[in-house]
Amino acid sequence: MAKSAKSNKTMAIELRDKLAEFIANGNFKAGDKLPTEAALTAKYGVSRTALREALKLLEQNGTIYVHHGKGRFVGGIAELKVERPITLFESVTALTRGNGYDPTNKVLSIAEQHAPEHIAAALKISADDRVLRLERIRMHRDDVLMYCVDYVPRHLITDKIYDVEWSGSLMDLLETYGHKATMSSATAAAVLLPDDVIAANNLEEFGPAFRIVETVYTAAGEPIVYAEDYHRGDAFEFSFVRS
């Protein structure tokens, strides 16, 4: 199996994902026996080393379980897999598309200011540091799907704020400045939009919102965004497995 061209992924990761797909698409149910290592190395054309590494990753995430000398078997949790769990870190654009919409962004405001105390703490900046506050709505045709407020430490964006295109993906933008978002710590709650937001933006029909407040980090643990995302209740549903 040749690795994908230009892929940064290792063979083990690619193979893990291919095997996961094979299991998901192969009419397996919990407890079914998987092909042996020998059969799988032949099937995918890889070394036994890469295959074993991939299989151990699948074992760690519950997709399979192993009995030494007997073989490998499909784990029960595999049937509970959801395609895009709430725990998946992805851009708001991808999330919105995953819920079946074709989103466009509208920038309501972009401003440089001091951060409220709790936001400064989350972003690990001092009270003297400034943040950029980006306020946007995400729309599908004429319907407002999300109201979003993002706070970014000012020092991360080395250009003047009016020289920057703010309507695209904030994560992609930060990556061009050398800060690649990879994970976040989040909380979710059911709320109503703040009254002043409703009044300022004609959002009387928005209804209950699924609010996610998250701090976004690079792989090295550097906090780069504090986000408050209000997802319209009747437009979004979030999936996850509890175990």
Partner DNA sequence: ACCAGATAGTTGTATGATGAGTTTTCGGCG
Partner DNA sequence: CGCCGAAAACTCATCATACAACTATCTGGT
Q: Which residues pair with 110 in a beta bridge?
A: 134
118 lies in the binding site for DNA (CB under 7 A): no
Sign of CA dihedral 93, 184, 7, 59: negative
How many binding residues for DNA (CB under 7 A)? 22
Closest CA to 19 of 58, 73, 75, 77: 58
SS3 9: coil
- Tokens, residue 236: 């979004």
Contacts of 5 (CB under 8 A, 6+ apart): none
24 vs 77 by CB, closer to a second copy: 77
Binding pattern to DNA, positions 170-189, x when CB under 7 A? --------------------
22 vs 73 by CB, closer to a second copy: 73
Q: Which stretch binds DNA (CB under 7 A): 8-16, 82-90, 108-116, 145-153?
A: 8-16
User: Least separation, in Å, of the C-beta of 201 and DNA?
Assistant: 45
Asked whether the beta carbons of 84 and 95 are under 8 A apart, the reply is yes
Q: Which long-range contacts (CB under 8 A, 24 or more apart) does 173-180 make?
A: 174/224, 174/225, 179/218, 179/222, 179/224, 180/218, 180/219
46 lies in the binding site for DNA (CB under 7 A): yes
10 lies in the binding site for DNA (CB under 7 A): yes
Asked whether the beta carbons of 127 and 151 are under 8 A apart, the reply is no
- Identify what 109 binds: DNA, a second copy, none; CB under 5 to 8 Å per kind: none
Which residue in the set 66, 86, 121, 149 belongs to the binding site for DNA (CB under 7 A)?
66
52 vs 130 by CB, closer to DNA: 52
16 vs 138 by CB, closer to DNA: 16
Asked whether the beta carbons of 243 and 77 are under 8 A apart, the reply is yes
19 lies in the binding site for DNA (CB under 7 A): no
Residue at 144: amino acid letter: V
User: Least separation, in Å, of the C-beta of 41 and DNA?
Assistant: 7
- Identify what 198 binds: a second copy, DNA, none; CB under 5 to 8 Å per kind: none
